[in-house]
Amino acid sequence: MIVYAGVDPVTGKRTYLRDAVQGTDKAARKRAERLLNKLLSQVDGQRSAPSSATLSYALDEWLRTNEIEQSTRETYEGYVSRVIRPALGETAVNKITARMLENFYTELRRCRVRCDGKPFIERHKKDGDHDCVAAKCKPHVCKPMAASTVRQIHFIISGTLDAAERWDWINTNPARVARKPKQKPPEPDPPTPDEAARLSEEAFRLDEDWGTLVWLAMTTGMRRGELVALRFSRLDLDTGVIDLRRNWVGGQEKDTKTHQNRRIALDTETVVLLGEHKRRVRERAEALGIEFSEDLFVFTGTKSPDHSHPYPPDALSSRYTNMAKRLGIRTHLHALRHYSATELLTAGVDLPTVSGRLGHGGGGATTLRVYAAWVAASDRKAAEILGSRMPKRTR
């Protein structure tokens, strides 16, 4: 049984719905009539003919028409070429189902290369015939793909099928109902106040500029890219405010992560430290025979003593991690952002203020999700304060 379903919006070819009923008796005829009515209703109900375009083609079109940052685009293209296209690329978008996507995600969570479970050599140490055991060739060991990565892959597929639905290539997006791995609860691990004091002291001992950078990260909770992209023109030391507008990612200066500008108030000690740092940079510029400019970067690496280029982000993270290791502290640079947030919340600062300083979107929802345990502690402190102000009962 064949029913004409219209013209494919991508290929321009005629499309048909096909099905079959076995038998020639009266009952088979009735089943055939019901099936024919079903197919005709399906054709009448669709906005346009379903497209036989492949997911690979749809992914290319989605990436071409989607307005995203270049660094994000490169990440998506990597997932598409390495993971999505080899598995589902040749499947027509109108044949993709929620069950198919869930099986795909399950396979990735079992093994990121989606092996068949049979042992094989992943990388040979020698060419030609050889004994893999003697040559110590690397056997394959299944490594599950992280749930967060699978969720990102789901986002790419879902975005592509959303576009296919808008373009009338499919009637509904199956990714909308497909189950994806659960998001792992955030587990921030900030340094303790004692560890933070030791880290700050060691940073200043090594270098005044380095100490100022670490101190600023602790007191403002700025992201790494925001720290290195900071210019003197965005420091208002008279009012004690940082006007944060830029971020440094992938060797380029861009908008902040949430594409929102924010102003961060500075305490008196931080203003003094930044004033001294600015004086050192001005003296350094004069010694090099160049004119100090407010457009210079606040922090820079050893290869750019004139502050014309920002501190390389990876070098910044490595230097901080190595310093912490020498002190016997297991931590990383981003943990200073957690330190700033948790110290404020523990001190009883309200959630919107903390969220604003961190530059979180969602009106505080992200801050609440990440730092729920510290918000609860702050709430307990608020309860005790209120209880202490209540009139005492007479017994």
Instruction: Let me know how many helices (H) and strands (E) the chain has, helices first.
Output: 16, 9
Tokens of 336: 């200073």
Q: What's the pLDDT score for residue 37?
A: 66
pTM over 0.85: no
The angle that helices 351-358 and 335-346 make with each other, rounded to 10 degrees, is: 160
Tokens of 16: 């048909």
Non-local CB neighbours of 281 within 8 Å, separated by 6+ positions:
232, 292, 296, 298, 307
CA angle 154, 158, 164 (to 5 degrees): 150
Q: What's the pLDDT score for residue 10?
A: 58
Gap between the Cα atoms of 119 and 360, Å rounded: 46
Nearest Cα neighbor of 264 from 221, 324, 203, 319 is 221
Q: What's the pLDDT score for residue 41?
A: 63
Specify which residues 263 forms β-bridges with.
243
Tokens of 224: 């790494």
Q: Which residues of 205-226 are buried (b: 16+ CB within 10 A; e: fewer)?
A: eeeebbbbbbbbbbbbbbbbbb
Q: Which amino acid is at 151?
A: R
CA distances, 293 to each of 63, 278, 286, 306 (Å): 40, 11, 11, 10
Residue ranges in the chain modelled with pLDDT below 50:
48
Q: What's the pLDDT score for residue 58?
A: 94
Task: Quickly count: other Cβ atoms within 10 Å of residue 346's Cβ.
Answer: 15
CA angle 311, 312, 315 (to 5 degrees): 110
Tokens of 234: 């965005």
Q: What's the pLDDT score for residue 101?
A: 96
> 3-state DSSP call for residue 268?
helix
Q: What's the pLDDT score for residue 209?
A: 95
Q: How far apart are the first and last CA of the chain?
A: 88
Three-state SS annotation for 270-332: HHHHHHHHHHHHHHHHHHCCCCCCCCCECCCCCCCCCCCCCCCHHHHHHHHHHHHHHCCCCCC
CA distances, 163 to each of 62, 185, 278, 310, 395 (Å): 7, 30, 50, 39, 70
Q: What's the pLDDT score for residue 42?
A: 60
Per-residue pLDDT reduced to its tens digit, 189-205: 899 999 999 999 999 99
In this prediction, what percent of the chain has a pLDDT beyond 70? 84
Gap between the Cα atoms of 297 and 86, Å rounded: 44
Q: What's the pLDDT score for residue 14?
A: 66
Tokens of 212: 């100022």
